[in-house]
Every structure is written in structure tokens, then in C-alpha cells.
Amino acid sequence: MKRKIVFLTGTRADYGKIKSLIRVVEDSDELEAYIFATGMHMLSKYGSTYQEIIKDGYRNLYTYINQSGRMGMDIILSNTILGFGNYIAEQQPDAIIVHGDRLEALAGAIVGAFNNIKVIHIEGGEISGTIDESIRHAITKFAHYHLVANETAKKRIMQLGESEENIFVFGSPDIDVMLSDSLPPLSEVQAYYEIPFERYGIFMYHPVTTEVDALPQKVVQVVDGLIASHRQFVVIYPNNDNGTDIILRELGRLQGNPNFRLIPSMRFEYFLTLLRGADVMIGNSSSGIRESGVYGIPTVDIGSRQSGRYDRTRASHILHVEEDAEAIRSAIEQAERMECQPSSEFGKGNSTEIFSGIIHGTDIWSCQVQKQFVDRGF
């Protein structure tokens, strides 16, 4: 009898990262893939990206609306726990796979742990400067297995009291896609999203939920800096964390400006192609830390959201500035003169292969769901 594996996805970004892993399970003779799509996927404001998942043709896909209107993150979390809990009670899977630091992933980890179902967490052990970091570490404590990007992340998870034998360094699965020959050509991406620019930067700026009171002033400075640069930018909407409406209102100033093309959401593979052809990446998305480095694209990292996510002495493709219009304008100008070599601390492009070996092996299925804290005397 096939083992059931449930993948939980709540955003365009995490789906792109786990898509190749879902395919490993979908194509297996020993395993059966189930996908629970919720969160931003279900919101028309962000392009109803669940439709892209449907197009990928999985046998077992379930969609669930976990929010409407201006709900707080706590309410959305509770709604997700309720919906996912009911789904899990019906399906009775052998494992649940969650990714990253979104509240949907936390809901999945809680439901799995409370129901004695093995939870596999992808890309734990990383740090940032927002509530996301607390969510990520909370997921680690509920998860039974940890598939991490590098040795640094592994050490952090060990500091949290997790057993070393349950931690696997497998890189970041999106790099497999980035280095493949399956990405669409840039001309196709530009035609599909009506992007008229020959040269362009990419701008993505998300709310920092612990600094939301200062967000109105900060985002004004950010948008002023973009306009003052007189460069052309593809602007991708922020995620739906608390404060996103403040950012979207400010981005309204860019509507009608011929230097900007605003896009609510973008397919992951199309985004990678767009990034590969960009002059610069601007904002506070992790894409500026991870994916930009793989392609050697200069990044202007703004504010505190990615604080601690990278070593500034080693991440040579990153310029850091605060939310100040003149500093941002100047950094964009400087970034365009940089010559960056491709590099990555997040894998070698073989994560899917490593994942297949882990999920088809015997070790993870023999582990007990009762966890014990490993005290290392730190």
C-alpha cells in the first residue's frame, strides 16, 4: 500500500520551491502525493495562483480558503488549523511536508504533531528580522525531520534541541529549477506579462510585521527612491502579511508611470527567467539573498526584513540600505556598476535527488513521533 504524503502550500513562492519534490512523490510507485493549497493561492488580488497548481495536473489537489477581508494573522492561523485538521482527519496521511516560515506551514506542523503524523520541514534553521523567524523556529519544534539548505542551518536546528540524525542538508530545491534547462525564454515571459522593457530591475518589498507602525513612512521613502532612480522596474506585489495594504496603496503612485510594470503575482519559473535577465533586484525579499546570488544579480537589500539572513562580508552581490530615498537611489546606481559572480550557500542543484533518496528510504519511517529535547550544554 502506498504511503500518503501531504504537501501544504500557501504562496506562489513556496509552491515553486517544493514543486519538484511533489513531482518525485507523484511519480513514485511507493508514495502518493496530496496537495493542500490555501493562503495567497486562493486570493484573486494575488492572481488566484491555485489555478496554476491545477494546470500542473496532480491527481489529488484540495483547495481551501483560509481568509477574507482584513483578518489578523492569528485568525488566519486558526482558520488554517481548522481546515487542514479536517482534511488530515479525512486523508490520514503518513507524512506532512511544509516549507519555510509562513503561518500556513505552522498550521500544518501543529496539525501533524497533534495527530502523531510525521512532519517534514523544508528550509528550517534560517534567520531573518521579523515574526517569520519565530514562526520558522516554532515549526522546527513541531517537526520530526528537517531538510535544511546548509550546515549553518543544521547547527541552528541542533541548538534548538533537535536530534542530529533527523536533520538532512539537502540545499534549496528551487536551485534545481534555476540551474535546469527547462525555464521559459525571456521573450515568452515578457510577452505573457506585457513587460516592454529591454533593461529592467525587479522590485519586491514585503511588510515587516514587527515594524508595521513605521511602515507608512518607510514605504514612501522606498517608492520615492525608485522614482528618483529613473530606471525601469517590474514591480511584484508584496505578500499578504499585516501591512500589505499600506504598501499596495503606496505602489498606486506608480500606476501609469511608464517606468514601472506592476504585476500581482508571477509563476515561479517565469520569475526565475525574469530574474536571470535583470540588471538589479531591489527590496526585502529573500529572492534578493538566495536566487539573485545564484545568478550573480546585484541586490539592493532594504531595511531589516532579511537581517541576519546573510553574511555581509561574504555576500558580495548585496548592498544594504535603510528606507531612505536618496540612499536607495544611490545604491541602485552603484549596483548597476557591480560585476557579480554567481554563487550560493544554499545548495548545488541536486536537492530533488537527495529528497528522493530520503523519502524513499527507511530511516524516516522508523522514527518515533515522540520527540525529546537534545541538551548539548550550550
The model's pLDDT over 175-184, given as tens digits with 9 standing for 90+, comes to 999 999 989 9
Rg of the chain, C-alpha, whole Å: 20
Cβ(40)–Cβ(11) under 8 Å?
A: yes
Task: Average the pLDDT over 207-234 and give the result.
Answer: 96
Q: What is the CATH number of domain 186-335?
A: 3.40.50.2000
Cβ(171)–Cβ(150) under 8 Å?
A: yes
Which residues face 281 on adjacent strands? Answer: 202, 299
Confidence of residue 314 (pLDDT cuts 50, 70, 90): low
Domain with CATH 3.40.50.2000 in the chain: 3-178+349-366, 186-335
pLDDT value at 312 more than 80:
no
Confidence of residue 127 (pLDDT cuts 50, 70, 90): confident
Taking Cα atoms as reference points, which of 267, 268, 270, 258 lies closest to residue 187? 270
Cβ(118)–Cβ(296) under 8 Å?
A: no
The more confident residue out of 58 and 378 is 58
Confidence of residue 347 (pLDDT cuts 50, 70, 90): confident
Percent of the chain with pLDDT over 70: 98
Architecture of domain 3-178+349-366: 3-Layer(aba) Sandwich (3.40)
The number of angstroms, rounded, from the C-alpha of 170 to the middle of its chain's C-alpha atoms is 16
Task: Average the pLDDT over 96-121 and give the result.
Answer: 97
Burial 334-356 (b: 16+ CB within 10 A, else e): ebeebebeeebbbbebebbebbb
Task: Average the pLDDT over 6-14 and give the result.
Answer: 95
Amino acid at 17: K
In the DSSP assignment, the letter for residue 35 is: E
Task: Average the pLDDT over 146-158 and give the result.
Answer: 96
Confidence of residue 327 (pLDDT cuts 50, 70, 90): very high
Task: Average the pLDDT over 117-126 and give the result.
Answer: 97
Phi, psi of 299 (to 5 degrees): -125, 135
pLDDT at 316: 86
pLDDT value at 313 more than 70:
no
The more confident residue out of 132 and 31 is 31
Q: How many beta carbons lie within 10 A of that of residue 378, not counting itself?
A: 6
Name the least confident of 71-85, 198-212, 301-315, 359-373. Answer: 301-315
Confidence of residue 321 (pLDDT cuts 50, 70, 90): very high
Query: Whole-angstrom Cα distance, residue 185 to residue 176?
Result: 17
Query: Whole-angstrom Cα distance, residue 345 to residue 314?
Result: 10
Locate 9 and state its grid cell: 502550500
